[in-house]
C-alpha cells in the first residue's frame, strides 16, 4: 500500500474521531430530579440547565448536575441542658435545594450545602433550644423541642435551602440521670394513683351522703303528709294493691280470701234466719 494512501486513511480516521469528540462534548443530558450548572472556561453561568437533552460549547464548557430532590441525612448533636447535663440527640434532617438557589449554592458551597450550611445551622439551633430546658423537660417535650428547632434552623438558613422536617430519633442521657428521671416518674405515677383513689373514695362518700339526705327528706315528707291527713296510709295501700284479696288464716290452718269469707258468712246468716220462727224474725 502506498504511503500517501495510508496517510490519507489515518488522517481521515483522526478527523472522524475529532468530529465524534466534538459532537459528544457539544451535547449534554440532565437527569430527572437534577438541574445542570454550566461552567464556561471557569466561569459559572447565571442560569441553570433544566432536565433533558441540550447543546453546549464543545471543549470549553461543562455541565455539573445538582440534585433538587429531597435528601435525608442522619446527624448526632452533643448538647447541654439548662441544668448542665450532657445530652446526645440522634436526628434526621430532611432538606432539598430549590431551583432558584442551584447556581448560587454551587458557586458558594460547591453544590452540596449540607456540610457547610445545613448541618451547622441545625446543630446551632438545637443547642439553643435545648439549653433553655432541663434534662427532664427535654425528655418529656421532644415534639416541642423539634418544632422550635425546626423554626429556628429555617430562620438561620434562609431561602437557600428548604429544610422540610426534623425527626428526633433518640435522646440519650447519662445512665445516672436516666435512673433518676425514671425513679421520679415512677413516684409521680404512684402519687397520681393515690390521688385518684382518694378522689374516688371522696366521690363515693359524697354520693352516700346525698342518698341518705334524700331518704331522710322523703321520710320527713311522708311523715308530714300522714300527720296532716291520716287517710294517707289508706291511699298508699290502695295505690299498692295488686287487685288480689288478701288471705285469712282460719282454724285448722285453712286459707281463704276475704271475699270467700264474706260469702261464707252471708250464707250462714241466711240459713240462720230461715230456721227462726216467723215471729222472731
Exposure letters 40-70 (e unless 16+ CB within 10 A, then b): eeeeeeeebbeeeeeebeeeebbbbbbebee
CB-count exposure of residue 19 (10 Å: 0-12, 13-18, 19+): exposed
CA 164 to mean position of chain CA atoms: 19
Which pTM does this prediction carry?
0.58
pLDDT digits (tens), the chain, 281 positions = 567 666 667 677 777 676 666 666 778 889 999 999 999 888 888 889 999 988 888 878 889 999 999 999 999 999 888 888 888 899 999 999 999 899 999 888 876 789 889 999 999 999 999 999 888 888 888 899 999 999 999 999 988 899 999 999 988 887 776 666 666 666 667 777 778 788 888 888 888 878 877 777 777 776 676 666 666 556 666 566 565 555 555 555 555 555 554 555 555 545 545 544 544 44
Q: What is the pLDDT of residues 122-165, one digit of tens each?
A: 999 999 999 998 888 888 888 999 999 999 999 999 888 999 99
CA–CA distances in Å: residue 4 to residues 1, 7, 273 = 9, 5, 174
Amino acid at each position: 500500500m502506498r504511503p500517501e494512501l495510508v496517510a490519507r486513511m489515518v488522517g481521515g480516521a483522526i478527523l472522524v474521531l475529532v468530529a465524534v469528540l466534538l459532537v459528544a462534548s457539544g451535547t449534554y443530558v440532565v437527569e430527572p430530579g437534577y438541574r445542570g450548572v454550566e461552567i464556561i472556561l471557569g466561569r459559572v453561568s447565571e442560569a441553570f440547565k433544566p432536565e433533558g437533552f441540550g447543546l453546549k460549547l464543545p471543549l470549553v464548557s461543562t455541565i455539573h448536575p445538582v440534585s433538587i430532590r429531597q435528601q435525608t441525612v442522619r446527624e448526632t448533636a452533643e448538647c447541654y441542658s439548662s441544668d448542665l447535663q450532657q445530652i446526645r440527640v440522634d436526628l434526621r434532617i430532611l432538606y432539598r435545594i430549590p431551583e432558584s438557589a442551584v447556581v448560587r449554592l454551587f458557586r458558594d458551597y460547591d453544590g452540596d450545602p449540607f456540610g457547610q450550611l445545613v448541618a451547622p445551622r441545625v446543630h446551632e439551633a438545637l443547642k439553643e433550644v435545648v439549653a433553655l430546658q432541663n434534662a427532664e423537660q427535654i425528655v418529656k417535650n421532644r415534639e416541642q423541642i423539634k418544632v422550635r428547632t425546626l423554626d429556628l434552623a429555617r430562620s438561620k438558613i434562609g431561602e437557600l435551602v428548604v429544610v422540610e422536617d426534623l425527626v428526633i430519633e433518640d435522646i440519650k442521657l447519662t445512665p445516672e440521670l436516666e435512673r433518676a428521671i425514671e425513679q421520679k416518674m415512677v413516684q409521680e405515677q404512684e402519687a397520681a394513683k393515690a390521688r385518684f383513689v382518694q378522689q374516688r373514695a371522696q366521690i363515693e362518700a359524697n354520693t352516700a351522703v346525698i342518698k341518705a339526705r334524700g331518704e331522710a327528706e322523703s321520710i320527713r315528707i311522708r311523715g308530714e303528709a300522714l300527720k296532716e291527713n291520716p287517710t294517707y296510709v289508706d291511699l298508699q295501700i290502695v295505690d299498692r294493691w295488686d287487685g288480689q284479696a288478701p288471705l285469712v288464716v282460719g282454724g285448722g290452718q285453712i286459707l281463704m280470701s276475704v271475699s270467700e269469707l264474706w260469702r261464707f258468712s252471708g250464707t250462714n246468716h241466711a240459713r240462720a234466719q230461715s230456721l227462726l220462727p216467723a215471729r222472731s224474725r
